Amino acid sequence: AVVSTQSGHYGRGRGLRRFLWKQLRFASGKEENSMHFEVILKKNCNGKYELDQRVRLHLFISTAPCGDSAIFPIAEATQSNEHVVAHEPTMENDKQGLLRSKMESGQGTNPTSITEDPLTVDGLMMGHQRLKTMSCSDKVSRWNVLGLQGCLLSEFLEPVYMSSLTLGCLYHHGHLSRAVCCRYKDTPLPPPYN
């Protein structure tokens, strides 16, 4: 299979989902664990599987993910976290906190609009519409809300959340907080999401 993606974050997500699928097959007895890997999924009282409490998932990204978390002047970039106080989102204008899609011709993102027509295969094939790709910030934000396991595995697994997100350099804590976790804090979620 050929996998084409512009984002390393998305490739890591795919790899994790493949790993969780394999773990689910081991835990449910659908596949023999001939290599004797430790099974990190346990069946709960609801009949779904969940990640063993001893297991923590951490995501490292070298710089601010494209999209909402990267909308700041580079001069304001944080180089260390010595002075950072947890979760103080920056909201300076109405363009921040919006879902964004990547631009086709390179770096950058544009806010998406709910008034645009939905994409169709015909519209894309005939050149009337352009393919929209979710920004990296929005992907990380989605993982923080819905979990890393994806839609298919949600049928069998409780949500799997990352324990931490580490950025190497060139990020702004306030914009990152807003983009990957805090912009949905007042949105009610159905169980089992939190």
What pLDDT, on the 0 to 100 scale, is given for residue 5? 42
What pLDDT, on the 0 to 100 scale, is given for residue 82? 56
What pLDDT, on the 0 to 100 scale, is given for residue 152? 94
What pLDDT, on the 0 to 100 scale, is given for residue 81? 54
- The angle at the Cα of 182, spanning 179 to 187, to the nearest 5 degrees, equals 115
What pLDDT, on the 0 to 100 scale, is given for residue 119? 81
What pLDDT, on the 0 to 100 scale, is given for residue 13? 78
Task: Name the amino acid, one letter, at 4.
Answer: S
For residues 2 and 64, what is the distance between their CA atoms, to the nearest angstrom? 27
DSSP string, 153-184: HHTTB-----SEEEE-SSB-HHHHHHHHTGGG
Q: What is the pTM of this model?
A: 0.80
What pLDDT, on the 0 to 100 scale, is given for residue 96? 85
Residues of the chain with pLDDT under 50: 1-6
For residues 12 and 89, what is the distance between their CA atoms, to the nearest angstrom? 26
> Which residues pair with residue 61 across a beta bridge?
167
What pLDDT, on the 0 to 100 scale, is given for residue 71? 83
Q: Is the dihedral of CA 43, 46, 51, 52 positive or negative?
A: negative
- Phi, psi torsion values for 162, nearest 5 degrees: -75, 150
